[in-house]
Structure 1
Amino acid sequence: SKIRAWFKRQDRDLNLVQGKAMLEKELRRLGMNDFAVETLAKDFEFRSLDDLYVAIGTGDVGLGRIVNRLIEDAAPKDLALFPLTPREAKPGDGGVTVLGLKGLLTTMARCCNPAPGDPIVGYITRGRGATIHRQDCPNILRMKDRERMIKVTWGEAHQVYPVSVAIKAYDRAGLMNDISLIIGNENVNLIDIDIKVAQNLASILMVLEVSDISQLSRVLNRIENLPNVMEAHRQHPG
């Protein structure tokens, strides 16, 4: 019994360390290191942040869910670190796009029932994404929590956002071809690239057009798993 308990404890410690490292790496890779993670345990109904790290380490909680929750609960100063400015917008079917946060769940407010074409505003609600109100809705005008209001627009069903990505790798034949295949398979546009090679070390800076943070995460993960690639992460300007 004591031996089983010892092994269980060792497994927990290992999963805790691995889960914490996995989350920190993902946030660093997406340029989200400054996002506060303290409330995540409560958000996911764990007793402590350590318990959440263990769940990440065992695979019970996916990193994508955590990233989306952080974005949903983020303060405006955090979202400013992450601004994905629309580069292209095509007329859509009257849906709502949250600028820079395409994956965020949106629901129409029943109090004012906004219709396509109405001036609208989004209000972030914990755990339920954003509620869409008319800008002149009495309820939204009474809201004191102004920092939870976000800019939304009608009819932009397909948007892409330019993101700078930095890659470090040991140079090899076919490296850029492999990276290009990943980008193409994800239907991501490569709009700019700068490659420097010194002492067999390749530093690649590229600008990609992505549709949302999940797509960016997939691309970075697949590139980082290529042979000879040391790291791939989002690069903030400046």
Structure 2
Amino acid sequence: AEPSGVLAIRGTEGMVVNFAKCCWPIPDDAIVGVFNPGKGITIHRQGCPNLGDYKKHGHKWIEAEWEPDVQGEFATKIKVESGNQRGVLASVASVISQQESNIEHVGSEERDGLSSTLVFVITVKNRLHLARIMRQVRSLPSVMRISRLK
């Protein structure tokens, strides 16, 4: 989901702004912009593993911060590790929906006889919203671990 309403990133007026799909930045994350001629600015989370490659290839970094009143929903990625039980996907999806988030994509990473790993791309308003979703998913009896992917 792309943000709507208020411009999300201070100082980028008139520029094309994209959000990196490697680190999935959301409001309240510490961020940095990378300028790509002809493509605009891509916003990354500070500490994104891919930032080193951009520096090596001479891309210009731009200081960036979220507008304080940023609106909209932003996609981010979470990984849910659970016991290999019937109905896990349905119960996790239900909790995500109850927390007023949409699931944009879901996939399974690995599955053995004992456990399974599900990866979700979900929409959130900010880090607080994400934390609330993760706390609720973590409380499900079948969930062993949940983490945000970078």
- Asked if 1:199 corresponds to 2:116, the answer is no
Per the alignment, residue 126 of structure 2 pairs with 212
Per the alignment, residue 228 of structure 1 pairs with 142
Secondary structure in 1 aligned to 2:91? helix
Q: Which structure has the highest helix share of the two?
A: 1
Aligned equivalents of 1:182 and 1:232: distance in 2?
A: 13
Per the alignment, residue 164 of structure 1 pairs with 77
Aligned equivalents of 2:9 and 2:133: distance in 1?
A: 22
- 1:152, CA displacement in angstroms? 5.2
Per the alignment, residue 189 of structure 1 pairs with 102
- 1:220, CA displacement in angstroms? 0.9
1:50-129 equivalent positions in 2, closer than 5 A: 87-91=1-5, 97-98=8-9, 102=27
Aligned equivalents of 2:128 and 2:66: distance in 1?
A: 19
- 1:218, CA displacement in angstroms? 0.8
Aligned equivalents of 1:152 and 1:213: distance in 2?
A: 12
Q: Could you state the TM-score of these two structures normalised by the residue count of structure 2?
A: 0.57
- 1:206, CA displacement in angstroms? 1.2
Pairs aligned (count): 102
Aligned equivalents of 1:221 and 1:91: distance in 2?
A: 28
Letter of the aligned partner of 1:173 in structure 2?
R
Distance 1:161 1:101, change over 3 A: closer
Secondary structure in 2 aligned to 1:159? coil
Distance 1:152 1:231, change over 3 A: closer
- 1:198, CA displacement in angstroms? 1.3
Aligned equivalents of 2:89 and 2:120: distance in 1?
A: 11
CA RMSD of aligned residues (A): 2.8
Q: Which structure has the highest strand share of the two?
A: 2
Select the residue among 173, 197, 208 that pairs with 2:86. Answer: 173
Aligned equivalents of 2:99 and 2:70: distance in 1?
A: 18
Say which one has the larger Rg.
Answer: 1
Distance 1:185 1:201, change over 3 A: same
Letter of the aligned partner of 2:107 in structure 1?
D
Single out whichever of 189-198 and 156-165 deviates more from structure 2.
156-165
Distance 1:101 1:198, change over 3 A: closer
Distance 1:218 1:152, change over 3 A: closer
> Aligned residues: percent identity?
13
Structure 2 unaligned runs (5+)? Answer: 11-24, 30-62
Secondary structure in 2 aligned to 1:218? helix
Q: Could you state the TM-score of these two structures normalised by the residue count of structure 1?
A: 0.37
